[in-house]
Amino acid sequence: MTLKLGVPSKGRLMEKTFDWFGARGIQLQRTGSEREYAGRVDGIANVSLILLSAGEIPRELAAGRVHLGVTGTDLVQEKLAHWDQVVEPLEELDFGHADLVIAVPKAWIDVDTLDDLDGAAAAFRAQHGFRMRIATKYHRLVREFLRTHGVADYAIVDSQGATEGTVANETAELIADITSSGETLRANHLKILSDGLILRSQATLWQSRAAELDPEDEKTLDALRAMLF
């Protein structure tokens, strides 16, 4: 058997993951044509590279189809109920830093906290006859966070990208999304609630608790750990 390592197939996360492993003597690379999702691993035997969407890596880890995987804390906690029972964080990689936050229009000058939002939500429903809409792809994390903080009068609207644009487009009143430099929020005239930080995320190397390891895989994992940590 080979030890399967799931890595994001494109973009910043893929490049930084390749750099991180490369700095520790393990070369990961995409092979074949620019559009082919095939890869190879040099510097250690019996490890295979599985290129996947960052958002699918949590599910593959939980199902045991990859033994190790790199993806953000946000995606693991969003996609996996009881994530700590199915995956184990091995190492935070110190890149892919992003905060998952609740942001409202800057023009809402009386809304700066979750408490203010709760009040505004009740007033909004009374005035419009429907619940205030929050655009996000982080349904689970947003619901949990708002439940914990006593905000109930809202509806989630699914948004898988360009979430900050939904307010101007009038498909949502506020958003929950990740922010890094804050530029996208600023450009879309949104402000973060002062107590609206849901989660601090970064790219992390995870081990599946579900994937089976034969004795040879155990040896490969020991060799890998010795090189990485």
Ligand X SMILES: Nc1ncnc2c1ncn2[C@@H]1O[C@H](COP(=O)(O)OP(=O)(O)OP(=O)(O)O)[C@@H](O)[C@H]1O
55 binds ligand X (CB under 6 A): yes
- Binding ligand X (rule: CB under 6 A), the pick from 178, 190, 193, 211 is 178
* Contact between 39 and ligand X per CB under 6 A: no
For the chain, give the DSSP string: --EEEEEE-SHHHHHHHHHHHHTTT-EEEEESSTT--EEEEESSSSEEEEEE-TTTHHHHHHHTS-SEEEEEHHHHHHH-TTHHHHEEEEEE-S-S-EEEEEEEETT-TT--SHHHHHHHHHHHHHHHSSPEEEEES-HHHHHHHHHHTT--SEEEEE-SS-GGGGTTTTS-SEEEEEESSSHHHHHTTEEEEEEEEEEEE-EEEEEESSS---HHHHHHHHHHHHHH-
User: Of 42 and 183, which CB lies nearer to ligand PRP in the complex structure?
Assistant: 183
Partner interacting with residue 36 (select from ligand X, ligand PRP, none; CB below 5-8 Å by kind): none
CB of 7 to ligand X, least distance (A): 12
Q: From the CB of 81, what's the least distance to ligand PRP, in Å? A: 23
Query: Which residue in 5, 51, 61, 98 binds ligand X (CB under 6 A)?
Result: 98
Q: Is residue 66 a contact residue for ligand X (CB under 6 A)?
A: no
Q: How many residues bind ligand X (CB under 6 A)?
A: 15
Pick the closer one to ligand X by CB: 75 or 87: 75
Partner in contact with 74, chosen from ligand X, ligand PRP, none, beta carbon below 5 to 8 Å by kind: ligand X
75 is an interface residue for ligand X by CB under 6 A: yes
